[in-house]
Amino acid sequence: MARYAYVNGRYVPHDEGTVHIEDRGYQFADGVYEVIPIIDDRMVDAAPHLDRLDRSLSEMNIAAPLSRKVLELVMRELIERNGVSEGLIYMQVTRGVAPRDHKFPKGVRPSIVMTTKKVDFLSQKKLSDGVKVITIPDIRWERCDIKTISLLPNCMAKTQAFEAGAYEAWQVDGDGNVTEGASSNAWIVTADGKLLTRPATHDILRGVTRQSLLRIAAEEGLSFEERPFSVEEAKTAREAFVSSATSFVTPVVQIDDTVIGNGGPGILSGRLQGWYLDYCAGLNTKER
Ligand code: PDD
């Protein structure tokens, strides 16, 4: 089956999709993006992802390339053309093409690129077995709430994790508190069973998965709090996990050299994962 990409108004064979050499995304990482999972032929939480895209665009002063209605049509068309029933849709919007000059150009048309990828998410071993994370200093800027394509520190962090045999790197602020992973939000369950995740300020990305999990936690009557937690607290936690559009709820079984809990996925993490995957598949008995 042919694979298409959507590039500035045209559906083109994936391998032939190109952008201009003076696109500001290419030269300055001047753009934003979203990743939306697809499970059982449905996009998961498309609306909050597109709301966040709008917010990122407006924080960066980039015009919306398409109306919400047209954007949704294009997304559905691309998923249909590419026959994706499980996987993801990626979209990126940059400020557009202009002669290289640091300051934002005026009157430039934003560029938009959309691709899809088939991923067999639900059979991934990380969901059932859990993963290791490492901790590293957070060297990023002070607007991590904007989902910008400027991801070099995140790529460095992820590479460091990979080289240490870990799935993710938990970045740590100057106070010794975990901010978030290179591409996911960080969570722990304290010794007394409380779910903790850092508040969504400018220090982290307000994960769409995170928001859905907080809602599910509230609906299920779990005890939870949004507050920073330290590396030490994480290492002595009963459970830990990460959340994102592509990792869903992935249990963390080791942080640096410290084994978490009994070394296997935690009970609460497993329950949250189950509830969340049901939600993704539209199977939930509760109204969400
Ligand atoms: N990353 N924090 C960071 C730094 C992220 O890059 C992501 C997502 C998240 C989780 O957000 P969400 O739940 O909305 O996916 C948190 C995506 C998956 C990526 O870059 O591929």
pLDDT classification of 288: cutoffs 50, 70, 90: very low
Mean pLDDT, rounded, for 161-180: 98
pLDDT of residue 275: 97
CA–CA dist 203, 141 (Å, integer): 8
CA–CA dist 254, 261 (Å, integer): 9
Of the candidates 79, 80, 75, 81, the residue with the CA atom closest to the CA atom of residue 93: 75
Nearest-CA residue for ligand 1 atom 8 is 183
State if residue 140 touches ligand 1 by the CB under 6 angstroms criterion. Answer: no
Nearest-CA residue for ligand 1 atom 20 is 183
> Which of 137-151, 201-215, 222-236, 272-286 comes out lowest in average pLDDT?
272-286
pLDDT reading at 207 higher than 80: yes
The pair phi, psi for residue 258, each rounded to 5°, is: -95, 125
pLDDT reading at 10 higher than 60: yes
* 147 tagged catalytic: yes
pLDDT reading at 55 higher than 60: yes
pLDDT of residue 284: 60
Mean pLDDT, rounded, for 121-129: 95
State if residue 210 touches ligand 1 by the CB under 6 angstroms criterion. Answer: yes
Q: What is the whole-number distance in angstroms between the Cα of residue 50 and the centre of ligand 1?
A: 14
Average pLDDT, the chain: 97
* Beta strand segments in the chain, E: 4-7, 10-13, 31-39, 42-43, 87-94, 111-118, 131-137, 168-172, 178-181, 185-189, 195-197, 224-226, 239-244, 248-255, 258-259
Mean pLDDT, rounded, for 174-184: 98
State if residue 205 touches ligand 1 by the CB under 6 angstroms criterion. Answer: yes
CATH number of 125-280: 3.20.10.10
pLDDT tens figures, 23-50: 999 999 999 999 999 999 999 999 999 9
State if residue 246 touches ligand 1 by the CB under 6 angstroms criterion. Answer: yes
pLDDT reading at 286 higher than 60: no
Domain boundaries, the chain: 4-119, 125-280
pLDDT of residue 287: 44
Mean pLDDT, rounded, for 111-131: 97
Mean pLDDT, rounded, for 195-209: 98
pLDDT of residue 230: 98
* CB neighbours of residue 85 within 10 Å: 11
Amino acid at 83: G
Answer yes or no: same fold for 4-119 and 125-280.
Answer: no
Nearest-CA residue for ligand 1 atom 18 is 245
pLDDT of residue 260: 98
pLDDT of residue 282: 87
pLDDT of residue 1: 81
Mean pLDDT, rounded, for 39-63: 97
Task: Tell me which of 3.40.1410.10, 3.30.565.10, 3.40.50.2300, 3.30.470.10 is the CATH number of domain 4-119.
Answer: 3.30.470.10
